[in-house]
Amino acid sequence: MKNTLSATVTINLPISQVWNLWTSPAHIAIWNCPNDEWTNTHVENDLHTGKSFLFAMAKKDGSESFDFQGTYDEIRTYQFIAYTLTDGRKTQLTFTGEDPVTITENFEPVANLDLGMQQAFCQSVLERFKQYALSV
């Protein structure tokens, strides 16, 4: 991976619960957005090396939407997820600890978009995941 950005969050829950909430389509549909202005309109997640995922996201007011999709390069249950997006950018997620769990996301940013905005977007999604995980 080249020129990566990073975001991290620590959650006071067991790794099995964190992993399930992170990877289950029913849960992804609820937490995977940066704030309450966004929603997931469709989620597919086949969590196996060589398989794909699709998270269709849209602003609730209809002004923006996009498909976040890619293919899994490596899965190590409770430890690591690596994937390549359809535009070729790569992401690696590391799950450290058993309780609490620290999730670190390293990702290649979109060219020609503000890096601070992209890092803040990713961090806000991780924070939203933490908030959701602690509430269920």
Task: Encode pLDDT of 61-98 as tens digits.
Answer: 999 999 999 999 999 999 999 999 999 999 999 999 99
* pTM over cut 0.75: yes
Domain membership of residue 92 (yes or no) is yes
DSSP labels, the chain: --S-EEEEEEESS-HHHHHHHHH-HHHHHHH-SSSTTEEEEEEEE--STT-EEEEEEEETTSS-EEEEEEEEEEEETTTEEEEEETTS-EEEEEEE-SSSEEEEEEEPPPTTS-HHHHHHHHHHHHHHHHHHHHH-
How many structural domains does the chain have?
1
Domain membership of residue 60 (yes or no) is no
Q: What is the CATH number of the domain that holds 15?
A: 3.30.530.20
pLDDT higher than threshold 90 for residue 2: no
Domain membership of residue 98 (yes or no) is yes
